[in-house]
C-alpha cells in the first residue's frame, strides 16, 4: 500500500472494492430490522477518497446514500435500477463546492468520476451499509 495517496494515509483509508479509498467513521448505535429479518444500524458514514482522473466501478447498494462534499468535486453517474447499468441513459449528480450533497436512491446503479483534483466525500447510508448489500456490475 505504498502507493496510497497522502490524504488516504493521513485519514487511514483502505482500498475500496469499487475503486478509491475509504474508512467507516461512524455507525449508529441504534439498529433496525429489515423486512427480510436482517439487522442493520439505522445509518453508517464513511470517508471516500477518489484520486484525480479515476472513477469507481458501476455498483449498487440496497440502501439510500447521501453524498457530502469535503474537498474537490465528484460526478456521481446514475445508471437506473435495471439488471445492468444503463450507461446510455445515465443521469448525473454533482457533489462539490456549491452543491454540497447529492442523493443516490437505494438499488440504483452508480459510479463516481472525479476530474482534475482529488475529491474527498462522506457517504451516509441508511439503513446502514453492509457489503452483503453491495453489488458490482
Which pLDDT belongs to residue 56? Answer: 95
Mean pLDDT, range 12-32, rounded to an integer: 97
> Given this model, what pLDDT does residue 3 score?
87
Looking at CATH, the fold of the domain delimited by 15-136 is given as: Jelly Rolls (2.60.120)
Nearest-angstrom CA–CA distance, 50 and 42: 26
Residue with the three cell numbers 447499468 = 85
Beta bridge partners of 6: none
pTM of the model: 0.93
Region 22-42 average pLDDT: 97
| Separation between Cα atoms, residue 94 and residue 69, nearest integer Å | 10
pLDDT of amino acid 99: 86
Of 26 and 98, more confident? 26
Strands 39-41 and 59-61: unpaired
**Is the predicted pLDDT of residue 1 greater than 90, yes or no?**
no
Pairwise CA distance, residues 119 & 47, whole Å: 10
Is 98 a residue whose pLDDT tops 90? no
The sign of the torsion formed by the CA atoms of 124, 122, 82, 39 equals negative
Amino acid at each position: 500500500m505504498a502507493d496510497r495517496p497522502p490524504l488516504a494515509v493521513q485519514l487511514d483509508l483502505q482500498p475500496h472494492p469499487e475503486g478509491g479509498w475509504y474508512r467507516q467513521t461512524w455507525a449508529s448505535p441504534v439498529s433496525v430490522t429489515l423486512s427480510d429479518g436482517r439487522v442493520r444500524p439505522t445509518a453508517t458514514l464513511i470517508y471516500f477518497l477518489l484520486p484525480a482522473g479515476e472513477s469507481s466501478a458501476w455498483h449498487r447498494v440496497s440502501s439510500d446514500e447521501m453524498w457530502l462534499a469535503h474537498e474537490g468535486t465528484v460526478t456521481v453517474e446514475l445508471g437506473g435500477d435495471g439488471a445492468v447499468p444503463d450507461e446510455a441513459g445515465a443521469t448525473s449528480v454533482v457533489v462539490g463546492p456549491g452543491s454540497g450533497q447529492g442523493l443516490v436512491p437505494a438499488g440504483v446503479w452508480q459510479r463516481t468520476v472525479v476530474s482534475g483534483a482529488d475529491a474527498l466525500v462522506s457517504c451516509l447510508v441508511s439503513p446502514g451499509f453492509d457489503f452483503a448489500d453491495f453489488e458490482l456490475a
